Amino acid sequence: MAKEEPKDKEEASAETAAKPKSKKKLIIIVAAVLVLVGGGAAAALMSGSKKAPESEEEQAHQEENRHLAAVQLDTIIVNLSENASFLKVKMTIEYDPEILAKYSGEGGGGGGAGGEGEGGMPPLFAEKEAQIRDAIINTLSAKSAAEVLNPDGKDQLKEDLVEAINEALGLEEGPVVNVYFKEFLVQ
C-alpha cells in the first residue's frame, strides 16, 4: 500500500499540473479568438470606410473617361451690349451622347438622339438648332466687350453658354458639358 500512496500522490500532482496547463490553454485560445474577432471587425470597419472614397474616386475617374462628342456650329456675329462693338465667334459644343441617348425619340422627327444627323449634328441638336442659336445669340449679346475680353469673363461666358444651350434643349438632364471657342473676335 505504501507504493500505492506515491502513485496517488503522483496522479494528484499530475492532475494539478494538468489543470494549470488547461487553464493556460483556455486563456490562450480565448485571447486568440478575441484577437481574430477584433482584427476582423477592425478590417471590416477599415474597408467599409475606404469604400466610400473609392466609389467617389471611381465616379470621378469614370466621368473623366466617359466618351464625349462634339459638334461645331457655324459662325455667329452679334452686337455686344455696350457701344458699337460686335463679337464674331465660332464654337464647338462638347456633349455627352449617353445623356442624349436617354431622350432618343422625344421631340419626334430625329429618332435616336445619340446618332449623327444632318451635317454631323445629333438629331436633337438639329431639331432644336434654332432654339440653340437663339440662346447663344441672347447670351452673347447681353455681354459687353470688357466682359468678354478678359480670361475670367470668357470662362463665365462659357458657363453661361452651357447653361443656355442645355435650357434650349429642354431636357431634364443637360447633355452639354463644355463650349470651346475656335474663333473669337471683338471689334
What's the whole-number mean pLDDT along residues 132-160? 93
Is the four-CA dihedral 12, 18, 22, 23 of positive or negative sign?
positive
Rounded CA separation 125/96 (Å): 12
* Rounded-to-integer distance, Cα 115 and Cα 48, Å: 41
> What pTM was estimated for this model as a whole?
0.60
The predicted model gives 81-110 an average pLDDT of 80
Residue 105, classed as helix, strand or coil, is coil
Backbone φ and ψ of 180, nearest 5°? -120, 135
Residue 20 has pLDDT above 80, yes or no: no
Calculate the CA 77 to chain-centre distance.
35
Dist. CA 134–CA 122, nearest whole Å = 18
Q: Work out the pLDDT band at 38, boundaries 50, 70, 90.
A: confident
pLDDT at 3: 53
User: Would the pLDDT of 1 be above 90?
Assistant: no
